[in-house]
Amino acid sequence: MSRRTRWNGAALAVVMGGTLAAGCGAPGGDAPQPEATGASLAAAPTCGTAPVTLNAYIETGFPLAKELSTEFSKQYPNVKWNIREDQFAVITQNAPRVLADDPPDLMRLPQVSELVKNNLLKNLDGYAKAFGWDSWPASQLEQMRLGPGGKTRGEGSLYAMGLNFSMTGVFYNKKLADKIGMSSPPATLAELDDALAKAKSAGIPPIAQFNGGATGGLAFPLQDLMASYGPSGPINEWIYQKPGATIDTPSNLQATRHLEKWIKAGYFWKDVNAVDYATMMSRFVKGEGLFMFNGDWESGNLDKQMPGDVGFFLMPPAQQGGKQAAMSAPLTYGISSRAKNADCAAFFLNWVATDPKAREIGVKVGGSHPMGPADAPMPEVAEDTVTASTLAAGAKIAEDNGAMDFIANATGAIYAKSWTPQLQKLVAGQQTPEALLKSVQSDYTSQVGGS
Amino acid sequence: MTRPTPDSAVDSQATRTGPAAVTSKRSPAHAAGLRTPSWVGWLFVAPALGVYAVFVLRPIALTVQYSLYRWDGIGPSTWAGLGNYVRVFTDPDLFASILNAIKLIVFFSVIPVVLGLAIASTIRRIAASRLALVARTVLFLPQVIPLVAAGIAWSWLMSSTGLVNQLLTYAGLGGVARAWLGDFSTALPAVGVIGAWVLLGLCTILLLSGMSKIDAALYEAARMDGAGPLREFVSITVPSLRQEIGVCVTVTVIAALASFDIVYVSTQGGPGNATMVPGLEIYYLAFSERQVGMASALAVVLMLLVILVALPIQWLTKDRSS
């Protein structure tokens, strides 16, 4: 190398170094400042009469939000919509940045703890009071309440609202059930075990479930078994990050052992670790499984694809007549703390829960139970449809106070990093029920303590 | 200035020279005529250099900076020093992902290069025939197909009812049939096979073009001395392709270590982290766990690993004659 080359190299280093110097200083800190509390309102807000454009960021693939927005504009013509759609996984990744940089008036939300921690969501307490959401059954809003700083969930201020709330349980193929002589849904866990064994010996795949890739679908039957063996309260406390909560309890261990028994008995497909959600659905529709642990967001779809052939029941309790529980979660939407039209967005959320037409759309298009007061009129649904039985199941869960959030929602990473790999290992015989719960609990402790 | 980054390490074979080299090489040519001031060279390079600095160097610098903090991407950050790096090497899950990437080198590099050499020399022998054209096109096709589409197609092929298992069953090997991407022992090799399929075409074409440069007289001379096809291959073809093999190995090793798309589409790291690679882990850490600092630390380690592996390959395959 010549001397000049070396000099040029040095010059280059200086030039590059200069460009890099930009952006030093600790990263972050551009999040909004905390609001004191939800401002109290003199009267319930409306969308007014002047033209308004609501910015909404919704989940693609589910027509509910869009149909509701269309109907809303029909009733309130001054409101126009600017809708952006993405897959839920994309929304999950983008949520904090979008809420901070390009604040929508209304947005489909993933797990909200971190968003509340960074003051990205509007505190809805003021609206709740003005619209009377406080008088609805408390369990509907519980999952969207957070303590100061977003630390624990389940109580505190309201930060999101549901368009409806979903219910999970067990779907079954009625034709296959006839073949094994199952005339009514099992009333106890033992009866369910019996039906599974009969299906297996009749050559019918007993359970259609997914557990492949990054989506450990065996968490559905596992949590159902947990609720079958024990009370749902402690499971919710764990999900809500209450201090001292643990998933590693004796009844949960029984549940995990029961799941392992099902795996060893061959009740799941042999390739369940390679089956994703879409594959499970198409196989179940084709009749390649007697039972499927899933949620009522598929009710409308199943009514269309297998009319009259599908039934739904809540997970039976271990003891006859015991209380029943189910994963049940609102389809959460929130308002950005920097939203321009927060009042109108809140008015829309209230309209979704209380307007008869909106409630009907919620059931017919969304397939799930609408939010709102306990005595609000229910849209009519044809009997003998899955939708009818999932709605009825909702009433039973409300009676037993058995609504649980999903164990996958306890922390942002617990599903992908803990439940999914652990359940896949359980399927492959590489993990024991004891170690599974211990491992999930230790991941949970480090995530809850470390954030 | 000539310290190769992963990019320039690849390109250095293509005789692309840096700005400094441009000016120093040009000078002798112009020595007799007008002297161009040295800053004119910089003027030509400035736009590219600016883009490179803003879109490559600045992000790298920021990544290094982030790696020293605990940060969720939005809120305030706290200084972590080298804590994130310590965790990269002590957390068994994170370290296992690095090991998986190293295992993938077998499939992404060794198989395409070895098989590519064999295929290229076969095609060269039948170069004039129509078959050679077809073979070249078929082999190069995976390069044209988007990796995501390839990943989806392969996950169908390898599913429990897919073509692979149908063929096995047909051949009376139904006993080995399984969900290849969902089985703990076969998932990583199955992902590797997809990678090998994608990279084989690239290597074959590169090596083939290298072969066309070899003087035919060399082969003739060897044949006169009584060399068979194998001897020709070992003594003439392979040594003459030193540089092309270097490029192939470098590109494919980097593809293995920095793999993301194939794994993301086919297994998403599952089952049970059996196919977790650093690229995917960085993505999960940054966007689902919101540990931007940890993700950045792993990214820096991955970058250093790539450089550490690519440099010796460059040195070994350097053309010593020039």
Cβ pair B159:A271 closer than 8 A: yes
In a domain, B11, yes or no: yes
Contact B173, A417 (CB under 8 A): no
In a domain, B80, yes or no: no
- In this predicted structure, what is the pLDDT of residue B8? 40
Residues B168 and B22 placed together within one structural domain of the fold:
no
- In this predicted structure, what is the pLDDT of residue A451? 45
- In this predicted structure, what is the pLDDT of residue A103? 92
Higher pLDDT, A205 or B24: A205
**Which residues on A lie below 8 Å from B94 (Cβ)?**
none
In a domain, B113, yes or no: yes
Higher pLDDT, B160 or A254: A254
Give me the mean pLDDT over the B289-302 stretch.
93
Segments in A22-131 forming alpha helices (H): 64-75, 88-101, 113-117, 125-131
Looking at this protein, which amino acid is placed at residue A354?
Answer: T
Residues B10 and B139 placed together within one structural domain of the fold:
no
B299: domain CATH number is 1.10.3720.10
Residue A451: C-alpha distances to residues A76, A151, A414, B71 (Å): 43, 10, 13, 9
Cβ pair A422:B72 closer than 8 A: no
Q: Write the DSSP symbol of residue A148.
A: G
Residues B154 and B60 placed together within one structural domain of the fold:
no
Residues B29 and B113 placed together within one structural domain of the fold:
no
SS3 A368: coil
Cβ pair B58:A4 closer than 8 A: no
Residue A417 burial by Cβ neighbours in a 10 Å radius (0-12, 13-18, 19+) = buried
Segments in A242-338 forming alpha helices (H): 250-264, 277-285, 299-305
Residues B124 and B54 placed together within one structural domain of the fold:
no
Alpha-carbon dihedral of residues B234, B236, B241, B245, nearest 10 degrees? 0
Contact A227, A326 (CB under 8 A): yes
Residues B29 and B137 placed together within one structural domain of the fold:
no
From A97, which residue of chain B is nearest by alpha-carbon distance? Answer: B74
Residue A138 burial by Cβ neighbours in a 10 Å radius (0-12, 13-18, 19+) = exposed
From B184, which residue of chain A is nearest by alpha-carbon distance? Answer: A428
Cβ pair A118:B72 closer than 8 A: yes
Q: Which tokens belong to A398?
A: 């409300």
Contact A107, A56 (CB under 8 A): yes
Cβ pair B76:A9 closer than 8 A: no
Cβ pair A100:B74 closer than 8 A: yes
Q: Which tokens belong to A73?
A: 């504009």
Q: Distance (Å, rounded) from C-alpha B232 to C-alpha A132? A: 87
Q: Distance (Å, rounded) from C-alpha A313 to C-alpha A389? A: 8
Q: Which among B71, B72, B288 is the nearest to A416, CB-wise?
A: B288
Cβ pair A9:B289 closer than 8 A: no
Q: How confident is the model at residue B147 (pLDDT cuts 50, 70, 90)?
A: confident
In a domain, B96, yes or no: yes
Nearest CA of chain A to the CA of B315: how many Å?
18
Segments in A295-432 forming alpha helices (H): 299-305, 342-354, 356-364, 386-400, 414, 420-427
**Which residues on B lie below 8 Å from A22 (Cβ)?**
58
> Which residue do the tokens 């290094």 mark?
B64
Cβ pair A4:B65 closer than 8 A: no
Cβ pair B182:A274 closer than 8 A: yes
In a domain, B121, yes or no: yes
pLDDT single digits (tens) B102-129: 999 999 999 999 999 999 988 888 877 8
Q: Distance (Å, rounded) from C-alpha A168 to C-alpha A326? A: 6
Cβ pair A412:B289 closer than 8 A: yes
Cβ pair A274:B179 closer than 8 A: yes
Cβ pair B271:A424 closer than 8 A: yes
Nearest CA of chain A to the CA of B5: how many Å?
14
- In this predicted structure, what is the pLDDT of residue A93? 84
Count the helices and strands in chain A (H runs, E runs).
Answer: 19, 12
Residues B143 and B210 placed together within one structural domain of the fold:
yes
Cβ pair A430:B24 closer than 8 A: no
**Which residues on B lie below 8 Å from A20 (Cβ)?**
53, 57-58, 61
In a domain, B86, yes or no: no
Helix axis angle, B163-170 to B147-157, nearest 10°: 30
Contact B214, B237 (CB under 8 A): yes
Nearest CA-CA partner of B184 in A428, A417, A421: A428
Q: Distance (Å, rounded) from C-alpha B302 to C-alpha A358? A: 52
HEC string of chain B equals CCCCCHHHHHHHHHCCCCHHHHHHHHHHHHCCCCCCCCHHHHHHHHHHHHHHHHHHHHHHHHHHHHCCEECCCCCCCEECCCHHHHHHHHCHHHHHHHHHHHHHHHHHHHHHHHHHHHHHHHHHHCCCCHHHHHHHHHHHHHHHCCHHHHHHHHHHHCCCCCHHHHHHHHCCCCCCCCCHHHCCCCHHHHHHHHHHHHHHHHHHHHHHHHHCCCCHHHHHHHHHCCCCHHHHHHHHHHHHCHHHHHHHHHHHHHHHHCCCHHHHHHCCCCCCCCCCCHHHHHHHHHHCCCCHHHHHHHHHHHHHHHHHHHHHHHHHCCCCCC
**Which residues on B lie below 8 Å from A214 (Cβ)?**
268-270
Residue B24 lies in domain:
6-66
Residues B215 and B284 placed together within one structural domain of the fold:
yes
Contact A213, B268 (CB under 8 A): yes
In a domain, B83, yes or no: no
Instruction: Please state, as a whole number, how many other Cβ atoms lie within 10 Å of the Cβ of residue B305.
Output: 16
Phi, psi of A109 (to 5 degrees): -115, 145
Say how many domains are in chain B: 2
Instruction: Please state, as a whole number, how many other Cβ atoms lie within 10 Å of the Cβ of residue B56.
Output: 12
Cβ pair A29:B76 closer than 8 A: yes
Q: Distance (Å, rounded) from C-alpha B250 to C-alpha B259? A: 14
Q: Which among A96, A211, A430 is the nearest to B184, CB-wise?
A: A430
Q: Distance (Å, rounded) from C-alpha B120 to C-alpha B244? A: 12
SS3 A369: strand
- In this predicted structure, what is the pLDDT of residue B33? 56
Q: Which among B53, B58, B272 is the nearest to A430, CB-wise?
A: B272
List of domains in chain A: 52-166+329-395 (3.40.190.10), 167-328+402-450 (3.40.190.10)
Q: Distance (Å, rounded) from C-alpha A193 to C-alpha B162? A: 31
Residues B204 and B155 placed together within one structural domain of the fold:
yes
Q: How many residues does chain B have?
A: 322
Cβ pair B74:A27 closer than 8 A: no
Mutant choice from A1, A3, A4, A5 vs B, greatest count of B C-beta within 10 A: A5
From A423, which residue of chain B is nearest by alpha-carbon distance? Answer: B272
Cβ pair B272:A451 closer than 8 A: no
From B291, which residue of chain A is nearest by alpha-carbon distance? Answer: A451
Q: Distance (Å, rounded) from C-alpha B185 to C-alpha B58? A: 41
- In this predicted structure, what is the pLDDT of residue B3? 41
A349-363, B20-34, B242-256: the lowest-pLDDT one: B20-34
Phi, psi of A312 (to 5 degrees): -140, 135
Mutant choice from B54, B74, B188, B276 vs A, greatest count of A C-beta within 10 A: B74
Asked if residue B214 has pLDDT above 70, the reply is: yes
Find the helix or strand (DSSP H, E) in which A401 lies. none
- CA A191, A192, A194 angle in degrees (round to 5)? 65
- In this predicted structure, what is the pLDDT of residue A28? 74
ipTM above 0.85, yes or no: no
Residues B128 and B48 placed together within one structural domain of the fold:
no
Contact A113, A149 (CB under 8 A): no
Q: Which among A19, A27, A424 is the nearest to B65, CB-wise?
A: A27
Asked if residue B24 has pLDDT above 60, the reply is: no
Q: Distance (Å, rounded) from C-alpha A194 to C-alpha A199? A: 9
Looking at this protein, which amino acid is placed at residue A295?
Answer: G
Asked if residue B175 has pLDDT above 90, the reply is: no
Nearest CA of chain A to the CA of B200: how many Å?
26
Q: Which among A28, A114, A271 is the nearest to B71, CB-wise?
A: A28
From A413, which residue of chain B is nearest by alpha-carbon distance? Answer: B289
**Which residues on A lie below 8 Å from B58 (Cβ)?**
19-20, 22-23
Contact A159, A145 (CB under 8 A): yes
Instruction: Please state, as a whole number, how many other Cβ atoms lie within 10 Å of the Cβ of residue A26.
Output: 14
Give the mean pLDDT per block of 10 residues along chain A (451 residues): 52 52 64 63 85 93 90 95 90 88 92 87 94 88 89 90 92 95 93 96 96 90 95 92 94 97 96 91 95 90 90 93 90 93 95 93 85 84 85 83 89 87 95 97 85 45
Residues B178 and B308 placed together within one structural domain of the fold:
yes
Residues B153 and B282 placed together within one structural domain of the fold:
yes
In a domain, B21, yes or no: yes
Asked if residue B176 has pLDDT above 50, the reply is: yes
- In this predicted structure, what is the pLDDT of residue A39? 60
- In this predicted structure, what is the pLDDT of residue B21? 44
Nearest CA-CA partner of A419 in B144, B118, B273, B228: B273
Instruction: Please state, as a whole number, how many other Cβ atoms lie within 10 Å of the Cβ of residue B234.
Output: 11
pLDDT single digits (tens) A408-419: 988 878 888 899
Instruction: Please state, as a whole number, how many other Cβ atoms lie within 10 Å of the Cβ of residue A425.
Output: 21
